[in-house]
Amino acid sequence: MALFGTDGVRGLANGPLTADLALTLAQATAVVLGQGRSAEARRAAGRRPRAVLARDPRISGEFLAAAVAAGLASSGVDVDDAGVLPTPAAAFLVADTDADFGVMVSASHNPAPDNGIKIFARGGVKLPDDVEQRIEFALAGPKLQPTGAGVGRIRRFADAEDRYVLHLLRSLPHRLGGLHVVLDCAHGAASGVSPETFRDAGARVTVIGADPDGLNINEGVGSTHLDSLAAEVVRLGADIGIAHDGDADRCLAVDAAGRVVDGDQIMAILAVAMKERGALADDTLVATVMSNLGLHRAMTDRGIRVLQTAVGDRYVLEAMNQGRYSLGGEQSGHVIMSAFATTGDGLLTGLHLVAEMARTGRSLAELASTMTVYPQVLVNVRDVDRTRVADAQVAAAVAAAEAELGDTGRVLLRASGTEPLVRVMVEAADAATAERIAATLADVVRERLEN
* DSSP per-residue letters across 105-132: E--TTS-TTEEEEEEEETTTEEPPHHHH
3-state secondary structure of 280: coil
- Residue 4's φ and ψ, nearest 5 degrees, are -80, 135
Report percent pLDDT > 70 for the chain. Answer: 98
Q: What is the pLDDT of residue 95?
A: 97
Residue 2 has pLDDT above 80, yes or no: no
Among 23-32, 38-47, 51-60, 271-280, whose mean pLDDT is lowest? 38-47
426 confidence band (pLDDT: 50, 70, 90): very high
pLDDT-based confidence at residue 418 (cuts at 50, 70, 90): low
Instruction: Determine the pLDDT at residue 7.
Output: 78
pTM of the model: 0.92
For residue 267, give the amino acid letter: M
Concerning whether 363 is annotated as a catalytic residue, the answer is no
For helices 346-360 and 193-200, give the axis angle rounded to 10 degrees.
20
| Annotated binding-site residue numbers for Mg(2+) | 108, 245, 247, 249
pLDDT of residue 247: 97
Mean pLDDT, to the nearest integer, of 267-274? 98
Q: What share of the chain is helix, strand, coil (3-state, %, to 5)?
A: 40, 20, 35
Q: Which domains does the chain have, with CATH numbers?
A: 9-158 (3.40.120.10), 163-368 (3.40.120.10), 376-449 (3.30.310.50)
Cβ neighbours of 417 (radius 10 Å): 11
Predicted pLDDT of residue 39? 66
pLDDT at 311: 84
The catalytic residue among 60, 75, 106, 108 is 108
59-72 pLDDT, tens per residue? 999 999 999 999 99
Q: Residues 52, 218, 206, CA angle at the centre, nearest 5°?
A: 90
Given a cut of 90, whether residue 24 has pLDDT beyond it is yes
> CA geometry: angle at 281 spanning 277 and 283, to 5°?
80
Which parts are annotated binding residues? 108, 245, 247, 249
% of the chain residues with pLDDT over 90: 85
Q: Provide the 8-state DSSP code for 307.
A: E
Exposure of 432 by Cβ count < 10 A (0-12 exposed, 13-18 middle, 19+ buried)? exposed
Angle between helices 346-360 and 160-171 (to 10 degrees): 30
Q: What average pLDDT does the segment 398-418 reach?
A: 87
30-44, 56-70, 202-216, 227-241: least confident range: 30-44
pLDDT at residue 218 is higher than 80: yes
pLDDT the model gives residue 37: 67
Band of the pLDDT at 35, cuts 50, 70, 90?
Answer: confident
pLDDT given at position 102: 98
